[in-house]
Amino acid sequence: MRFRVLAAVCLAAIGAVTLSCGKEGSQKEILVGEYGSLTGGIATFGISTRDGSQLAFDDVNSKGGVLGHKIKLLVEDDQSKPEEAGTVVNKLIHQDHAVAMIGHVASSHSLAAAPICQAEKVPMISPASTNPRVTQVGNYIFRVCFLDTFQGAVMAKFASDTLKVKKVAILVDVRSDYSVGLQTFFGQAFKKLGGEIVAEQSYSQGDSDFRAQLTAIKAANPEAIYVPGYYTEVGTIVHQARELGITVPFLGSDGWDSPKLWEIGGTSLNGCYFSNHYATDDPNPVVQKFVNDYKAKYNQLPDALAALAYDAARILADAMQRAGSTDGEKVRNAIASTKDFPGVTGQISINEERNAVKTAVIVKVENGKYLLTETIKPEDVK
Amino acid sequence: MTTFLQQLVNGLSLGSIYALIALGYTMVYGVLRLINFAHGDVYMVGAYVGYYLSRKLQGKEPSIISALLVMVGSMIVCALLGMLIERLAYRPVRREARLTLLITAIGVSLFIENVAQLVFGPDPKFFPSLAPRTDFIVAGVRLTSEQITVIVVAMLLMLLLRYFILRTRTGKAMRAVSFSLDASRLMGISTDRIISITFALGSALAAAAGVLIGMQIPKIDPLMGIMYGLKAFVAAVLGGIGSIPGAVLGGLLIGISEVMVVGYLSSTYREAIAFGILILVLILRPQGLLGRVQKEKV
């Protein structure tokens, strides 16, 4: 008896879902899928990305949408698990019939979902996956962030040309591909510019005592210390370095970008620099409009991930408009021909490898604010 | 040479923390022959209690008094927590097989870690500075007031503990219980009370270590107790489990060797050295540096 009731409920539920699907199809909305981590270890990444792309589509919709239709963003949570990313992208494509895909921040998640998008010929734009392999999956996969090869070279140029330092020490997180990659790219570029790496020390994500490494670095007398890592450790590292009497500036990468960095490191971070995708105090009207809209809607300052997702969503909308269709192949071709798109994170052009060619910024940490110091173009570091 | 001395100071302050935690392991082992795996988590709770207390006191000028208040407050809370753990988890199974007790300890540890992630949140928190900071430079070696505090407070607490165990009645009873639980009971010692006090003391020392690490690092998170707990356990075994001076010696040795390895070799070997030492000790001198050989009575 109970089984029959259950079966009836299930049937009713399936019926309701089918009906509602039919209803959605009849409304003329363009459905764009987004997969991100809204819960779990990297939840802040997913939430920033979702908020950024939603803001972009709201903006597009308020101006009449694309091709006369409004864009609807469907967001699915992969619970910070790469293997879930494939499942939710399958759902977005087959069940919800999304015509394009935005995601993911983490390269491992992007790599799990990209083959599915490629096979189904659904264009996918990753806002922030920096691993080179992501866009190598196929010709439907794009990204709007720069690669770590560029990011490392940018900081090397800044250190050598602007700060005029010749002796740099590196402290690297050996458990992170991201950190080790940047160590290599920075080191190569810095040596090419005539600099010298005087000490290389390592730590592991989750460590909390860095005095031993810092004491060894101090003995090598560097003029600056490069720490490509994530904000949790960086804040602690700089705090402990100042206690040991190390006064030289610390240099870092986009993993530093979080309000938490200042909460951890406090005034010890004053005068440190890191490379990032954009700076909130950039006077560029595109940036200011984005920052103000974001603050008005979510009541907080947008981080770089929100800005990248905003750009990804706007590039997608722009491509659909230019393609004059939401057909996968036409949209793909339109995205691939994106040139000098005025994004929040710089002028974006998509190259033959489907990667973004764009500027990077160097920001200075000053009393809890991240101030724009220098903008570096791709041709500057060639 | 300055670098070496600086590393030595770094090692001493890290080792003092290990030593404080190791004392709790060794004392509990002394009376119950139990490796209390939840001990590292008590240390974590100590750090969090210290964090919330110092947030309460924030706004006032950082001073020695408020630092002292935070530390004593956290020690009291953790002493009670230690007694509670013993009463609820260990006492009911004390007469069971040794393995049952050990598994209970692992269960308690997992329980505290997960509750802590729910209550405190899984994100790391950052300790506000408690005492005014001054640096001293002696022969090129920089000593921060935090490092000096850590070393001095740890030494003071260890001396106090030594006095308590060797000179007071309760301390004498503790030594008796650790010598033979059954014989002490026959002599009219309230063994339940003594075991309870042992847990309270050990947990209070762990709490002190938690607050000290919070002042020094200053990052704390709900899983911080695992690694520190394990290394302190290694320190206790190295010194000879059950031996109080052994725990202190073991803690300092582990702390210094770890810092030297990271400073002169590579951070990759940080954990390898602690556990490598454990294996060597177990092979070469199973009773530890200062431990006594226990003869199996048949």
Q: Is residue B259 less than 8 Å (CB to CB) from chain A?
A: yes
Percentage of chain A surpassing pLDDT 70? 92
Question: How much is the average pLDDT of A311-331?
Answer: 93
* Confidence at residue B193, expressed as pLDDT on a 0 to 100 scale: 93
Q: Is residue B258 less than 8 Å (CB to CB) from chain A?
A: yes
Nearest Cβ partner for B219 among A174, A236, A243: A236
Contact criterion met (CB < 8 Å) for A212 and B260: yes
- The lowest-confidence range among A320-329, A331-340, B53-62, B257-266 is B53-62
Contact criterion met (CB < 8 Å) for B3 and A213: no
What is the average pLDDT score of chain B?
88
State the best of B217, B267, B269, B270 to mutate against chain A, taking most chain A CBs within 10 Å: B267
Confidence of residue A19 (pLDDT cuts 50, 70, 90): very low
Contact criterion met (CB < 8 Å) for A204 and B144: no
User: Distance, in angstroms, between A231 CA and closest chain B CA?
Assistant: 11
pLDDT for A1 beyond 80: no
* Confidence at residue A10, expressed as pLDDT on a 0 to 100 scale: 54
User: Distance, in angstroms, between B150 CA and closest chain A CA?
Assistant: 14
* Confidence at residue A24, expressed as pLDDT on a 0 to 100 scale: 43
Contact criterion met (CB < 8 Å) for A235 and B126: yes
Residue B224 CB-density burial (10 A; 0-12 exposed, 13-18 middle, 19+ buried): buried
Q: Measured at the alpha carbon of residue A352, what is the angle toward residues A347 and A357, in degrees to the nearest 5?
A: 20
Q: Between residues 270 and 309 of chain A, which touch chain B (CB distance below 8 Å)?
A: none
* Confidence at residue A270, expressed as pLDDT on a 0 to 100 scale: 92
- CA–CA distance, A1 with A7 (Å, rounded to integer): 10
Q: Is residue A184 less than 8 Å (CB to CB) from chain B?
A: no
pLDDT for A298 beyond 50: yes
pLDDT for A365 beyond 90: yes
Cβ contacts of A203 on chain B, cutoff 8 Å:
267
A51, A54, A103, A370, B142 from A297: Cα distances, Å: 9, 11, 22, 21, 49
What is the average pLDDT score of chain A?
88
For residues A381 and A218, which has the higher predicted lDDT (pLDDT)?
Answer: A218
Q: Number of C-alpha atoms within 13 angstroms, CB side, residue A326?
A: 18
Q: Between residues 103 and 122 of chain A, which touch chain B (CB distance below 8 Å)?
A: none
Q: CA Rg, chain B, in Å?
A: 19
Cβ contacts of B11 on chain A, cutoff 8 Å:
212
Q: What is the pTM of this model?
A: 0.78
Name the amino acid, one letter, at A7.
A
Q: Which residue of B has its CA nearest to A262?
A: B126
User: Distance, in angstroms, between B105 CA and closest chain A CA?
Assistant: 25
- CA–CA distance, A226 with A169 (Å, rounded to integer): 6
Beta carbons within 10 angstroms of residue A120's beta carbon: 16
H or E, element range at A58: helix A43-62
CATH no. of A26-146+284-350? 3.40.50.2300
Beta carbons within 10 angstroms of residue A183's beta carbon: 24
Cβ contacts of B214 on chain A, cutoff 8 Å:
none
Nearest Cβ partner for B10 among A204, A215, A263: A215
Contact pairs from chain A to chain B, CB under 8 Å = 69
Confidence of residue B134 (pLDDT cuts 50, 70, 90): confident
pLDDT for A246 beyond 60: yes
Q: Does domain A148-276+361-381 have CATH number 3.40.50.2300?
A: yes
Q: Is B217 within 8 Å of B130 (Cβ atoms)?
A: no
For residues A44 and B77, which has the higher predicted lDDT (pLDDT)?
Answer: B77
H or E, element range at A71: strand A70-77
* Confidence at residue A363, expressed as pLDDT on a 0 to 100 scale: 94
Residue B102: φ, ψ to 5°: -65, -45
For residues B235 and A175, which has the higher predicted lDDT (pLDDT)?
Answer: B235
Cβ contacts of B124 on chain A, cutoff 8 Å:
232
Confidence of residue B65 (pLDDT cuts 50, 70, 90): confident
Domain with CATH 3.40.50.2300 in chain A: 26-146+284-350, 148-276+361-381
Q: Is residue B51 less than 8 Å (CB to CB) from chain A?
A: no
Contact criterion met (CB < 8 Å) for B6 and A244: yes
Cβ contacts of A212 on chain B, cutoff 8 Å:
7, 10-11, 258-263, 267
Q: Which residue of B has its CA nearest to A231?
A: B124
For residues A25 and B294, which has the higher predicted lDDT (pLDDT)?
Answer: B294
